[in-house]
């Protein structure tokens, strides 16, 4: 896991069961979860150690995201199950242009954005990056802690394998930006991104294509072997990522919910339950 998470969340627990944080949630629910915004609990974790956490923790809710390709247990402890999720990853080769693998309509968007005068630049403006990320989340009705996010992005931007970009339209308005970071395994992860609404149809979409292409090229030139889109359970976003040649890589989200919290969370967070158990 990128060390920025430990800097931003110094109380995080780190051991053979991975990196996780304790937090008090609504109604006093005690949670033990993957660190906020982290893709997973870390590479090289031990299934035996994870099982011990699941069997001994007093937390009412445990949510642990395993890395892609990480196997689960043959039998999960009581009140525990694993949900199938995924990320999407593009292989990168130094000296080769990743845009050559894009479908024609995405390359066309790239060229049009350049013709219209959109410019991509490196940025260290944490406040701008937070605002872009939060704007996208608010449009989707997703709650996001801006204070924690700012602390994390501040730490991430100090890491040598992090690069952040902003896209500015010809008129001077910034409409898109993102933060791309390493994970200690020669990957470049699209960790954070967002957009402000554009004035013209397709303007924001083209800016995002320009952003992603620039970041992918930079990652390839820097020696990264993979570009990880981070995954999305939104079908539309997932299709968008797939169009860049990103193959699906399965992951497991391990969930343990104790009674009586299952009664509350079954309705408040149906996404934490196996699909067949979710309410209609």
| Positions in the chain short of pLDDT 70 | 276-280
CA gap 272, 78 in Å, rounded: 16
pTM value > 0.85? yes
CA gap 215, 165 in Å, rounded: 8
Q: Who contacts 108 (Cβ-Cβ below 8 Å, separation ≥6)?
A: none
The pLDDT value given to residue 230: 86
The pLDDT value given to residue 278: 44
DSSP state at residue 101:
G
Tokens 């620039």 belong to residue? 214
The pLDDT value given to residue 185: 80
pLDDT per residue over 18-61, tens digit each?
999 999 998 899 999 999 999 999 988 999 999 999 999 999 99
* Angle formed at CA 220 by CA 219 and CA 223, multiple of 5 degrees: 90
* 3-state secondary structure (DSSP) of residue 159: coil
Strand ranges for the chain from DSSP E? 13-15, 18-24, 30-34, 61-65, 80-91, 119-122, 163-168, 174-181, 187-195, 226-228, 247-257
CA gap 204, 182 in Å, rounded: 26
Tokens 């390359």 belong to residue? 107
CA gap 203, 196 in Å, rounded: 10
Cβ-contact 182, 215 below 8 angstroms: no
CA gap 86, 40 in Å, rounded: 11
CA atoms within 13 A on the CB side of 103: 10
* 3-state secondary structure (DSSP) of residue 195: strand
């Amino acid at each position: 896991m990128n060390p920025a998470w430990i800097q931003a969340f110094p109380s995080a627990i780190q051991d053979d069961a991975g990196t996780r944080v304790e937090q008090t949630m609504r109604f006093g629910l005690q949670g033990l979860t993957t660190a906020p915004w982290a893709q997973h609990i870390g590479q090289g974790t031990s299934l035996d150690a994870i099982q011990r956490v699941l069997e001994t923790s007093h937390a009412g809710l445990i949510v642990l995201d395993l890395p892609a390709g990480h196997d689960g247990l043959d039998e999960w402890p009581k009140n525990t199950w694993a949900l199938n999720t995924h990320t999407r990853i593009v292989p990168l080769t130094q000296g080769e242009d990743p845009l050559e693998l894009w479908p024609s309509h995405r390359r066309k968007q790239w060229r049009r954005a350049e013709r219209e005068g959109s410019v991509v630049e490196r940025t260290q403006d944490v406040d701008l990056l937070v605002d872009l990320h939060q704007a996208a989340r608010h449009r989707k009705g997703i709650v996001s802690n801006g204070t924690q996010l700012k602390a994390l992005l501040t730490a991430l931007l100090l890491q040598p394998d992090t690069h952040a970009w902003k896209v500015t339209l010809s008129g001077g308005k910034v409409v898109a930006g993102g933060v791309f970071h390493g994970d200690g395994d020669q990957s470049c992860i699209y960790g954070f991104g967002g957009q402000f609404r554009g004035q013209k149809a397709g303007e924001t979409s083209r800016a995002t294509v320009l952003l992603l292409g620039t970041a992918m090229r930079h990652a390839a030139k820097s020696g990264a072997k993979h570009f990880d889109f981070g995954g999305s359970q939104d079908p539309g976003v997932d299709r968008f990522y797939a169009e860049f040649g990103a193959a699906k890589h399965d992951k497991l989200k391990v969930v343990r919910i104790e009674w009586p919290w299952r009664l509350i969370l079954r309705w408040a967070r149906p996404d934490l339950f196996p699909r067949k158990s979710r309410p209609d």
